[in-house]
Amino acid sequence: MELEQAIRTRRTHKAYAPEALDRETLDELFELARWAPNHKLTNPWRFRVLGPRALQRLKAAVEDPVAAAKLDRAPTLVAVTTTQSGDPVMDEEDMLATAAAAYVVLLAAHGRGLAGYWRTPGVLRTAGGRAALGIPDAERVLGLLHLGHARQHPRVPERAPVESVASYLD
């Protein structure tokens, strides 16, 4: 798949086939994420692939049953975090680099014919959710990537015209 086509056709998927992604595929996605731009080559991203026990611990930390059920949408879940140094400027740069790395994972998955969904469930902002996944206080959670094989094809959403998001300054 060509890069521009991948960017224009990647969608958020919320219905997946039950088969989890294999470790080899996940490692390929994470290897590509290593190439995301990051200031001073800090490599601040951390990817935690949730196994069945980790998923159960996370679901147990969710108070709302509807929110807990959303964790079952995809067969493969990856918590994305970024390291924090305590330097506000470096931490912001590392957070943005980690967001770029997460997008690389989603785009690379799409390029392999897989589906993805980036969520920011509230449970990951709680002490119980962080503890369920062993996320230390020195890391900031950016979200949860849902990955798998698509069972549906979402509609193409409207996008803002380029004139509304870009300007040229003298």
Domain coordinates in residue numbering, the chain: 21-149
Q: Is 3.40.50.720 the CATH number for 21-149?
A: no
The Cα–Cα gap between 92 and 98 comes to 10
pLDDT cut 90: percent of the chain above it = 82
Token pair for 119: 């969520």
| pLDDT for 33 | 97
Conformational region of residue 113, where left means phi above 0, alpha means psi within -120 to 50, and beta covers everything else: left
Residue 158 has pLDDT above 90, yes or no: no
3-state secondary structure of 74: coil
The Cα–Cα gap between 47 and 59 comes to 19
Model pLDDT for residues 104-157, shown as the tens digit of each residue:
999 999 999 999 999 999 999 999 999 999 999 999 999 999 999 998 887 777
pTM: 0.92
User: Taking residues 55-70, what's their average pLDDT?
Assistant: 94
| pLDDT for 47 | 98
| pLDDT for 32 | 97
Conformational region of residue 91, where left means phi above 0, alpha means psi within -120 to 50, and beta covers everything else: alpha
Q: Average pLDDT of the chain?
A: 94
Residue 102 has pLDDT above 90, yes or no: yes
